[in-house]
Amino acid sequence: DYIDGKPLSRLRDEMNKQGILPGSPEAKFAAQRLLTSLTEAFARMIFGPGFIHGDPHPGNIFVLDNGQTALIDCGQVKQLTFDQQRRLAELIILVSEWENIYVERTAAERALEQATEDTDRSAREGLLANVTARLQAKVAEMNAAVRGFGVELFDGTPEEAMAACAVVLFGNSRNDTVLPGGFSGLELAPDSPIRRVRSFPQELVLLGRATVLIK
């Protein structure tokens, strides 16, 4: 089918022609709308028919006049089974829960640093211990979920690398977030957990590629 739109790779030039400058409120609004549309498109593909477009680079993403997105060039695709869809949905939920608990722990650590009395410190230490235990339990759940996909790590790699990979691919954490196992959140860093993966299903290769390109 013919797509009447502009490739994402040329969007900045088009916006400049219209006087929309990078960093302006208009540019930020357009970027947020584009991201929302693209995220919804992939969610519908993955959790609907289970279709994965594995090459969503800027030249393959078209922006339509109404602000919606269209994907072209479906040369690299994979089909997820229902079981893989279910596992992926569960993993994304686990990652979101881990991130929420991580924020709680950060707040608990700051609260402990600001404690002024022994009784106050004791209570805050207890709170931090409780949140840390919950965080570790969530990491164990993520490890099991990633392992369920058939992912294998290189010998000697801490099990937490599985959970860390999940956060890198499906989380909203910032680059300064301390991932499970102390791994880096930067995909190409020497201590990236992705570098410690020995093998995983081909479906996840394209899914991971698509996720990284979009992020």
pLDDT tens for the chain, residues 1 to 215 = 678 888 888 888 888 888 888 888 888 888 888 888 888 888 899 999 998 887 888 888 888 888 788 888 877 788 899 999 999 999 999 999 999 999 999 999 999 988 887 778 888 999 999 999 999 999 999 999 999 999 999 999 999 999 999 998 888 866 677 899 999 888 778 899 999 999 988 878 778 777 777 76
Where do you find CATH 1.10.510.10 in the chain?
5-79
DSSP for residue 187 = T
What topology does CATH give the domain 5-79?
A: Transferase(Phosphotransferase); domain 1 (1.10.510)
How far does the chain reach from its first CA to its final CA, in angstroms?
27
What is the distance between the alpha carbons of residues 141 and 32, in angstroms, rounded to a whole number? 32
Residue 80's Cβ-side half-sphere holds a number of Cα atoms within 13 Å equal to: 26
Q: What is the pLDDT of residue 174?
A: 67
**Torsion angle, CA of 9/13/18/21, rounded to 10 degrees?**
100
